[in-house]
Amino acid sequence: MPAPGLDVVSSRITPSVQRLLDRLATTPVAVYDATWTLLIANAPYDALMGETASWRGIERNSVWRNLIGPGTRAVHTPEEKAEFEARLVADLRLTAARYPADQRLKQLTRNLAARSPRFVELWESPAPEPHQDFGRRKVIDHPAVGHITLDCDTLIVAADDLRIMIYTAEPETEDAERLGLAIVLGTQALID
């Protein structure tokens, strides 16, 4: 639930969330607002998923990226993709119910509806459970190291209605080695 008195989606990174990001400096982490718009990502996340700093405006929104835009490096079967999209839209619909006065959110849903028949179909369909179980195994197709199977957990910061997405690999596996290599390669490229 949003904090009392908030009638718009917060895009504030609290000091406690920033400290969490700082402590997870070697783990891919991204923070999203309640509309699934990316607020901040650390260097390991950029190394894994591609440089997010170049994303502008609506490109930063995960619903838009997955329904209209270029998507992400996550690999989905057609069934997984359909379920993922349905749960993202269901979560956005819940956000719209919590923040009915948020003009930015209304504009986002108008833009999505104008550009995506799939969005309209999902928005108007009976809602599946919202994306409560974001913690799933995901396969990331990294251009330098290939496929990496990771756990993707999403933590909710209830007071500010933020989503913190964290990618980890099972220790001492080939995927952990690939993730480490992807982070080294990506962060070196970001520093150079």
For 187, list phi and psi in degrees, rounded to 5.
Answer: -75, -30
Please choose, from the candidates 144, 154, 42, 22, the residue with its C-alpha nearest in 3D space to the C-alpha of residue 87: 154
Q: Is the pLDDT of residue 4 over 90?
A: no
Reported as a single tens digit per residue, the pLDDT across 25-55 is 999 999 999 999 999 999 999 999 998 888 8
Q: Is the pLDDT of residue 133 over 60?
A: no
Q: Decide: 94 and 130 in contact? Cβ < 8 Å.
A: yes
- Please tell me the predicted confidence (pLDDT) of residue 54: 85
- pTM for this prediction: 0.90
Q: Domain 15-191 - what CATH class?
A: alpha beta
Q: What is the mean pLDDT of the chain?
A: 90
Q: What is the mean pLDDT of residues 57-75?
A: 93
Q: Is 41 helix (H, G, I), strand (E, B) or coil?
A: strand
At position 112, the amino acid (one-letter code) is: L
Instruction: Report the 10 Å Cβ neighbour count for 66.
Output: 22
Please choose, from the candidates 131, 150, 141, the residue with its C-alpha nearest in 3D space to the C-alpha of residue 62: 131
- Please tell me the predicted confidence (pLDDT) of residue 165: 95
Q: What is the mean pLDDT of residues 127-152?
A: 82
Q: How confident is the model at residue 170 (pLDDT cuts 50, 70, 90)?
A: very high
Please choose, from the candidates 191, 183, 192, the residue with its C-alpha nearest in 3D space to the C-alpha of residue 140: 183
The number of residues in the chain equals 192
In degrees, rounded to 5, the angle at the alpha carbon of residue 10 between the alpha carbons of residues 8 and 16 is 155
Q: Is the pLDDT of residue 116 over 50?
A: yes
- Please tell me the predicted confidence (pLDDT) of residue 123: 95
- Please tell me the predicted confidence (pLDDT) of residue 187: 84
Q: Is the pLDDT of residue 2 over 50?
A: no
